[in-house]
Amino acid sequence: MEIIEGKMPFMGYETYYRIVGERSEKPPLVLLHGGPGSSHNYFEVLDELAQKDGRRIIMYDQLGCGESSIPDDHPELYTKETWVKELEALREHLALRKMHLLGQSWGGMLAIIYMCDYHPKGIQSLILSSTLSSASLWNKELHRMIKYLPIEEQAAIHRAELTSNFNDPDYLNANEHFMNQHAIDMTKTWPECVMRKKRGGTVAYETAWGPNEYTPEGNLHDYEYTDKLSKIKVPTLITSGTDDLCTPYVAKTMQDQIASSKWRLFEGCGHMSFVEKTDEYVALLQEWLDQHDE
């Protein structure tokens, strides 16, 4: 299977991209990774979709992480406006006139911002994977789930939020436990691309979002798009897991606002159902994309 890697000039820096599969008449699927700052790595589990469905899959590292430039001495660059410009630049660079768009976690937020505020043409369908339309609802739901942790872990997280000391060992252990429960359990063995050490991304994450998933203090703290979701007119597939950071309430809130949307809930999965149930996820994507190529 053909894999093409390249770098695109962007704002005086470089953006890494990876294209999987043979050129075909089918519109490609572009993947927006999470974080901000998580990198494309985990999306490599979807390489088999390119082979099975005969379409190109395009993933890239957003500015600030992975194989792209990491201008951490200029954190003011790490904004939603920069990352939308980067997506638009990638579309122009690769001549992506028609495409499907999948965003996971922060990548889904970026997709929602792009669709609601920029009204792009040529998007055949949208896949919102374990994402959110409201920072305040996300905050509320994750703090609800924190109450299921052991009482001493709840206390450690509460202390860290009160003191802004997110380096305390008790907090770090509690946060790791929470993320293993609801993101992905990193005590287990996953494919190499998931276990691979990420390059950079911390400054981008902390600048745009905050110190952890449930304390949105960065420049995305006022991300509130639930009331804008009705602007999304393309067919939209929402996916999430029963144990996800994206709770069923968060996912249902998005589905209620997007006309002609469907929601698939993956049993027993956390924040990366495409990693935990890859075969099932690939089959779902293949069916969905084939239905919405025209």
Question: Known catalytic residues?
Answer: 105, 244, 271
DSSP state of 222: T
- Tokens 């069923």, located at residue: 248
Say if strands 123-129 and 236-241 run parallel, antiparallel, or are unpaired. parallel
Closest-CA residue to 224 (of 126, 139, 103)? 139
Burial of 267 (0-12, 13-18, 19+ CB in 10 A): exposed
Q: Which two tokens stand for residue 259?
A: 């006309």
Rounded to an integer, what distance in angstroms lies between the CA atom of residue 42 and that of residue 33?
8
DSSP-based three-state secondary structure for 275? helix
From first CA to last CA, the distance across the chain in angstroms is: 25
